[in-house]
Structure 1
Amino acid sequence: MAARRTAPGTEDRQLSLIEQARRDQLIQITIDLVAEHGYAATSLTRIAQTAGITKGAVLYHFAAKDAVVAAAYERVLGELVAEVKAAVDAAPADQAPAAYVRRMVGHLADRPDHTRMIVGAMINGDPPDPSARWKPLASLLQDARQARGLAPGPDPRTLAVIVGGAIDGIIGERLQDGDYDAQAAAEALIAMLETALFA
């Protein structure tokens, strides 16, 4: 099924295959440009030039720069969430936090363009609700302790915030140094997390 247009006045019309392909192209170009040049340097004009079309043609598909950036952000975030969710769903409850860390680090380390897009959109757009990041992991941490028959332990929110900050640090290091072993760092983080969670 084709996606619905977001341009003003056309919300109820289905996109043609050509329109959807162009829209997908513009989203990918935006991801690439934000990753390479940053949010501020990614203008509608630069997006249009890269796509080989006019700025008006970009505006046919997206009402403004913020709209195409939002679509790009939604795409990369959606892919990250889907991949992490699949890894967590496939793991036993007591191993779900480790699966979360492995896949989160793996996905972001393997896709630096997606990482830069997420960071750029978060810094320059409406800040997301911070609880959207720590709540899912906090829930996994509680479930992991319960799966092992343990009483409530360390504050799951605090532990989730710490783990999120550590993931950010690992990915930041990987962005600065492509040879940095992010997966080894993820395994070290998992070892520390499991000590805090299960010891």
Structure 2
Amino acid sequence: MESENSPSGRRRSFIEEARRAQILEAAVQVVGEAGYANTSLSRIAQKAGISKSVISYHFSGKEEILRLMVSEFFERAWAHMEPRIQAQSTAKGAVRAWIEAHLEFFGAHRAETLAMNEVVMNHRDPDGSLAFASDSDEELDGLTEILAWGQRDGEFRDFDPRTVTSIILRCADGVLGSWVVDDAVDLPKQTAALLDFIDHAIQGAP
């Protein structure tokens, strides 16, 4: 059985894909437990129960592992969110679906969320810029378009869509941040309160 192509163009076998998935899972656990600064190939290998040479066979280094770990998580998150958002016939429904599905997905994957936060907040490109800034920009652009749609249809009051989108996303990050540091936080209850707050903040005149 064969699977995805490797960078060299050779198709990876099912066994190779399984090994890569095992290494990525180990990386998630190490970052979540030890933090970004203390994550190393040695720790990942130890967690996976393999040698560093096995990791080197499948990945070029820690950089590739961390980037793939984050990108795959975000892809899965969007796959969860997108159909919920697109099923909405109103901008208000789409905003609610975006935030609710986003928090729901992250809430269902606590260990990965801890790891993603560590990497996204700390991993930088050679020029010193945050490595995943473009992902944040895409999220900002997408929700901004929905707010602008709601204004065109008269659902939302007048405001700068991009500024308000930034505020909404920061509020959602704040809810997640509280839950990340304290798993006793009732995430569904916090999500409901946030959605109610957003509804009142952006709705147009009755």
**TM score, norm. by length of structure 2:** 0.86
Share of identical aligned residues, percent? 26
Instruction: State whether structure 2 residue 40 is matched by structure 1 residue 43.
Output: yes
Distance 2:150 2:11 in 1: 44
Distance 1:191 1:36 in 2: 34
Tell me if structure 2 keeps the 8 A contact 1:101–1:190.
yes
Tell me if structure 2 keeps the 8 A contact 1:34–1:120.
yes
Q: Deviations over 1:37-76 (max 9, x none)?
A: 1122221111112222210110000011111111111111
Deviation of 1:110 after TM superposition, in Å, equals 2.2
Tell me if structure 1 keeps the 8 A contact 2:157–2:203.
no
The aligned length equals: 194
Which residue number corresponds to residue 186 of structure 1? 191
The gaps in structure 1 that reach 5 residues or longer are: none
Which residue number corresponds to residue 196 of structure 1? 201
Alignment of 1:44-123 (within 5 A): 44-94=41-91, 95-122=93-120, 123=122
The gaps in structure 2 that reach 5 residues or longer are: none
**TM score, norm. by length of structure 1:** 0.89
Tell me if structure 1 keeps the 8 A contact 2:41–2:62.
yes
Q: Deviations over 1:8-46 (max 9, x none)?
A: xxx211101111110111111111211121122221111
Which residue number corresponds to residue 123 of structure 2? 124
Deviation of 1:150 after TM superposition, in Å, equals 4.7
Tell me if structure 2 keeps the 8 A contact 1:101–1:167.
yes
Tell me if structure 2 keeps the 8 A contact 1:4–1:14.
yes
The alignment's C-alpha RMSD in Å is 1.8
Which residue number corresponds to residue 165 of structure 1? 170
Which residue number corresponds to residue 5 of structure 2? 4
Distance 1:191 1:71 in 2: 35
Distance 1:150 1:79 in 2: 30
Distance 1:92 1:100 in 2: 13
- 1:3 aligns to what SS in structure 2? strand
Tell me if structure 1 keeps the 8 A contact 2:150–2:156.
no
Distance 2:203 2:11 in 1: 51
Aligned AA (1:120):
E
- 1:2 aligns to what SS in structure 2? strand
Distance 2:23 2:115 in 1: 14
Tell me if structure 1 keeps the 8 A contact 2:156–2:202.
no
- 1:173 aligns to what SS in structure 2? helix
Which residue number corresponds to residue 138 of structure 1? 144
Which residue number corresponds to residue 19 of structure 1? 16
Tell me if structure 2 keeps the 8 A contact 1:32–1:113.
yes
Tell me if structure 1 keeps the 8 A contact 2:143–2:165.
yes
